[in-house]
Structure 1
Amino acid sequence: MVLEQYIQRVEEKLLLLVKKHQQLQAENVLLKEEVKIQQQELQQQQQGLQGLEDRLQLMKIASTAQGGTSIATEDEAFKKEIRSKINDYIKEIDRCIALLNS
């Protein structure tokens, strides 16, 4: 009789463990899906942020090119960077022309 009760308690505990395991597996699947969704949202936000940064850069360049008196004009480091890039582009164009002429 004692052995049967012991076996019954073990079976009950085993059933509880199996049920808990199934619950944890289901929760794990849901959490993995949630992480995947959040990673996708983060990636979209990063792409949006990059797009906004690119637009800001273009606006600064346009403002500098137009001789505007915006923040970009006041930022000497930015103006030097733009001048340097333009000079690099001109040098590259000159190299291409030289290659075409030879």
Structure 2
Amino acid sequence: MALEQHIQRIEEKLYQLLKKLQQVQAENVWLKEQLQHHQHEVQAQQQTITQLEQKLHLAKIATVAAGPPASPEEDEDFKKEMRSKINDYIKEIDRCIALLNS
């Protein structure tokens, strides 16, 4: 009799553990979905930030190019920025040419 009660308690505890395991697994799936959702949001926000930074950068270039520089330092900064941008374009063109040649 005591052995049967002991076995029954073990079965009840096992049932409770299995139920808890299913709950934890369901919660794990939900958390993974939430994480994936938040990662997509972060990625979209990072793309938006990158686009806005590019627009700001172009706006600064346009502002400097539209009028005379307020100081020699700004003129020098503009020249450096333009050289850098042109060099970036040249590198990108070289990469495209290399891809077309291969």
TM class, shorter-length: 0.7 to 0.9
Cα distance change on mapping 1:23 and 1:46 into 2, 3 Å: same
Partner of 2:39: 39
TM-score by length of 1: 0.72
TM-score by length of 2: 0.72
Return the offset for 1:63.
Answer: 1.1
- CA RMSD across the alignment: 2.7
Specify every segment of 5 or more residues in structure 1 that has no aligned partner in the other structure, as ranges: 91-102
Specify every segment of 5 or more residues in structure 2 that has no aligned partner in the other structure, as ranges: 91-102
Return the offset for 1:68.
Answer: 5.2
Return the offset for 1:21.
Answer: 0.3
**Aligned mates of 1:88, 1:15 — CA distance in 2:** 65
* Aligned partner letter, 1:65: A
Percent same amino acid among aligned pairs?
Answer: 61
Count the aligned residue pairs.
Answer: 88
Cα distance change on mapping 1:79 and 1:6 into 2, 3 Å: same
Partner of 1:97: none
Larger radius of gyration: 1
Partner of 1:5: 5
* Aligned partner letter, 1:64: V
Matches within 5 A, 1:70-81: 74=74, 76-81=76-81
